[in-house]
Amino acid sequence: MCNPHRPSTADSRSETVNDEHVVRREQYERLERHLRTDGRERIEMTFAEVAAVIGAPLPRSAFNYPGWWGADPTHTQAVWLDAGYQARANLTAQRVAFIKTPGS
C-alpha cells in the first residue's frame, strides 16, 4: 500500500548505503510484507531477524542511531509505517519491537 507522505517517483527506489553493500527500497518492502502478514499488535525481532527478512545486513546507522528506527515517512527503510506500525528499538540489545498504531 502506498503512503501518501512517501514519494512515489524514482525517489521510492532510493537506497541506504553501507560500507559493504546497498540496501534497496524493494528489500525493505519485504519487511513491510512480513509485518502485514504477521499482523500481531506487537512484533519483536532481533536486528539479525530483520536483516534475514530483508535479505541484507542492516546498515551501521541501524545499530548506532535510534532515529534510524523513527517515524519519518521520508526515510526509505521506514516501511513499518506503511504497515501500520511504530518501531521501538533497543540498540544495546539489538532488538526492535514493532507496535501497531491505533486505527491500523
What would the pLDDT profile of 55-103 be if each residue is shown by its tens digit?
999 999 999 999 999 999 999 999 999 999 999 999 999 999 999 998 8
Residue from 18, 20, 27, 71 nearest 50 by CA = 27
pLDDT, position 96: 98
Q: What is the pTM of this model?
A: 0.78
Residue with cell 524514482: 10
Residue from 35, 36, 15 nearest 27 by CA = 15
Query: How far is 29 from 3, CA to CA, in rounded Å?
Result: 12
CB count within 10 Å of CB 89 equals 21
Query: How far is 59 from 24, CA to CA, in rounded Å?
Result: 12
**Domain boundaries along the sequence of the chain:** 20-100
Residue 25 pLDDT level (bands cut at 50, 70, 90): confident
Contact in structure between 33 and 26 (CB atoms under 8 Å): no
